[in-house]
Amino acid sequence: MKIAICSTIVPFIDGGGRFIVKWLAATLRMRGHQVEEIYLPFSDHPDILMEQIMGLRLLEIGSSADRLIALRPPSYVLPHENKVLWFIHHIRIFYDLWDHAYNTTPKTPAMRSVRAALMAVDNRALCESRQVFTNSHVVGNRLRKFNGIESQTLYPPIFEPERFGFKSLGDEILYFCRVEHHKRQHLAVEAMKHVKTPVRLRICGSSIGRNYPDSLKKMISDNRLESKVTASFEWISEVEKADAFSHCLAAIYIPLDEDSYGYTSLEASHSSKAVITTHDSGGVLELVEHENNGLVCEPTPEALAECFDRLYENRRLARELGCRAEARVRELNITWDHVVERLLS
């Protein structure tokens, strides 16, 4: 089958939105399909939002592809008679984050008009899709709430999960993902002021700007945490990452109301390591269950510090949670075989 995978991107920014396209394309090619990856530069700035969507709507994929799989918004506005949507999130500042403190968009009549126009376009494009899948129940619930669209949850796997595995329980808690304020790396750093054990924190990932990474550097320096916290604001190789997970104590993923469980949670689970998260982290809670395959706590530095210390002091618990983390992935059937079967059905 000739398959076009379409998604929008922010140039020079890597993250889960790109990985899911690359990994899906590689998986489909390994199964004998012809695949074209189509990346569409896109900005969600309100002043140019609708003009960009109009441009995407005019793009013609046509009969050159037997199936169009659309992912990051608003790639699903592309017309195609055999379009399947793997919906990973809305343009959130106009949806669930409209009234949130993180959203600084002025609620002017003009912006309300843009919001209404976007929702109308989304509703039409979503209804054109042959099938609509989401990457989590959280996102599926948002689709139902805002667009009246029913969907099926299809959890995204990581590529070649066999690269990850358990080797030892070290002293580090890993926080590997994009470094942005809503990922709340600052809470993890602040937690290190309260730990009572020699546990260490390692942060790794790139950022869309320099302000937040610089603030983390200052926080580490001001609190004299250099011996406890290692921060690298760039991506490391997949080999180095797999090795880090194989030897770490646990992983942490504490975003605010995240769309899905995050790849770092899966990477930790495939490495048989526990995942620490918080009650308000959204889709992460679909994977991580308190005291089953990880620890779930309040989003405060003190509560996180208690989790860090608990796993450091109780290695048996850390190992048991890690073993159940890998079993939890199997329980949820997070595999590429399942993904391909559903997307091509």
- Looking up residue 53, the CATH number of its domain turns out to be 3.40.50
Structure confidence at residue 62 (pLDDT):
77
Of the pLDDT bands very low, low, confident and very high (cuts 50, 70, 90), residue 312 is very high
The residue behind tokens 């159940």 is 324
SS3 at position 5: strand
If we measure between CA atoms, which residue out of 77, 120, 114, 78 comes closest to residue 93?
Answer: 114
Q: Which burial class, exposed, middle or buried, applies to 62 when counting CB atoms under 10 A from its CB (0-12, 13-18, 19+)? A: exposed
* Overall pTM > 0.85: yes
Same domain, residue pair 29 and 117: yes
Same domain, residue pair 191 and 291: yes
User: 345 lies in a domain?
Assistant: no
- Most confident range (mean pLDDT) of 5-19, 34-48, 184-198 is 184-198
Whether pLDDT at 168 is above 90: yes
Same domain, residue pair 238 and 194: yes
Structural domain boundaries enclosing 124: 2-154
Q: Which of 96, 121, 154 corresponds to the end of one domain?
A: 154
Whether pLDDT at 203 is above 80: yes
Q: Which of 106, 138, 154 corresponds to the end of one domain?
A: 154
Question: What is the number of structural domains in the chain?
Answer: 2
Cα–Cα separations (whole angstroms), residue 220 to 170, 198, 201, 225, 324: 22, 16, 11, 5, 33
Helix (H), strand (E) at residue 127: helix 109-128
Same domain, residue pair 209 and 295: yes
Residue 243: count of CB within 10 angstroms of its CB: 16
Same domain, residue pair 136 and 190: no
Distance between the two ends of the chain, CA-based, in angstroms? 12
Sheet (strand 229-232) strand order: 229-232, 200-204, 172-176, 250-252, 275-278, 294-297
Q: How far is CA 197 from the centre of its chain?
A: 30
Residue 228: count of CB within 10 angstroms of its CB: 16
Q: Give pLDDT tens digits for 49-86.
A: 999 999 999 998 878 899 999 999 999 999 999 999 99
User: Mean pLDDT throughout 284-297?
Assistant: 98
